[in-house]
Amino acid sequence: MSLPKLHVVVLMGGWSNEREVSLMSGEGVARALESRGHRVTRLDMDRDVALRLTEAKPDVVFNALHGSPGEDGTVQGMLDLMGLPYTHSGLATSVIAIDKELTKQALVPHGIPMPGGRIVETEELFERDPLPRPYVLKPVNEGSSVGVAIVTDDGNYGNPISREAKGPWNDFGRLLAEPFIRGRELTTAVLADKALMVTELRPKSGFYDFDAKYTDGMTEHVCPAEIPEDVAEACKEFALRAHRLLGCRGTSRSDFRWDDARGVEGLFLLEVNTQPGMTPLSLVPEQARHMGLDYADLVEAIVADALADAGSGEGRP
C-alpha cells in the first residue's frame, strides 16, 4: 500500500511503568514519519488526550504507548468511539493479550504450548510457596518483564518469601506463578500476517528483565538465532498462530523460553506483545532490518495496515 502524505499523531508516554520506553519508541516513530514527508504531532498522553486528539484532527494515530492504559484496550476503546484509525491491535485483542492468564485460555486449547501455573493472592506467598521451587512470579497485566522475580532455593527472598524482600509482591495484590523453564530466551516478530525470524537474547548477567531489555550493552541479540531449524520453524509457526488467534493487527512479538535439552518439546510461549517496542534496541525493527525493511519502511507498513483495516469495513477485534 503506497502511503499518501498524512497527518499522524504519535501517541506516546503516558503514566505506565514503561513510560520512558514509550517516549523512546514514539520519538523514533515520529522522526521516521517526518523523514518520509508526513506531518507529525507528538502527543504525550495525559488525562486530556481525547480533547487534544479532537483538536489535532489526525488522519491516523500511531499508538506507541506501552503498558496500561495504552496497551490494555482502554485507549483502543476511546479511539474506536472517536472514529480515529489507529495502529496495532483493537480493543478485544488488547484486553486479552495484556492479561497473561486470558492469553493462556485463548491459546493453549489450540495447541500452543505455554507454561502451567496459577494466579495467587500476594498474601499467600508469605505463608507458603504456590509451586515447587524454582518458579517465576510476574504481574498478570504488565509487559517488558516489569516486576518479574525468579524464586529459587538459594535466592535471597526467604523461605517462605519475606514481606521485607524486594519483589513484585510489594506492588501487586495478585501475581501469576509459573514453573521456571531452564534454557534460552527466543523471540519472533509478526508483521503483516508474516512471521519474520527468530532472535535469541543472551543477557550478560541474570535474566532478560526490564534493564536487560533497554540498557545498551546488557544483552546480546543473536539474529537470526543459532538454533535447530525445527525449533526456529516452531517459533515462527506458534508466533503466527498466536497473532491470528488473538486477532492481532499490524505487528506483534511472541516471546519464548526454550529448554534446549528437550528439542522442540522444550519450547514454550511466554507472552504475546501487541505493541512491541520501537526503540533503537527493540527487536521488531532489528528483525525487519534483517528482512530488508528499514526502520522508516517498517513504520510506514504499520501505518498502512492501520489505514487498510480502517477502510475494510470489518471493524477491529
Radius of gyration over every alpha carbon of the chain, rounded to an integer in angstroms: 19
| Residue 277 bears catalytic tag | yes
| Residue 135 bears catalytic tag | no
Residue tagged active-site, from 184, 253, 257, 316:
253
Task: State how far the Cα of 261 lies from the Cα of 265, in Å rounded to an integer.
Answer: 9
| Residue 144 bears catalytic tag | yes
Task: State how far the Cα of 250 lies from the Cα of 308, in Å rounded to an integer.
Answer: 10
Task: Fill in the amino acid letter for 83.
Answer: G
Phi, psi for 88 (deg, rounded to 5): 70, -165
Residue tagged active-site, from 277, 282, 300, 316:
277
Residue tagged active-site, from 14, 18, 185, 254:
18
In what side-by-side order are the strands of the sheet with 60-63? 39-44, 7-12, 60-63
- The residues, any chain, with a CB within 8 Å of residue 138's CB and separated by 6 or more, are 100, 145, 147, 148, 149, 168, 175, 176, 178
Task: State how far the Cα of 266 lies from the Cα of 114, in Å rounded to an integer.
Answer: 10
Residue tagged active-site, from 86, 135, 208, 214:
214
- The residues, any chain, with a CB within 8 Å of residue 178's CB and separated by 6 or more, are 115, 116, 117, 131, 135, 136, 138
| Residue 217 bears catalytic tag | no
Task: State how far the Cα of 116 lies from the Cα of 134, in Å rounded to an integer.
Answer: 13
Residue tagged active-site, from 142, 271, 300, 309:
271
Phi, psi for 53 (deg, rounded to 5): -65, -40
| Residue 273 bears catalytic tag | yes
Enzyme catalytic residues: 18, 144, 214, 253, 255, 271, 273, 277
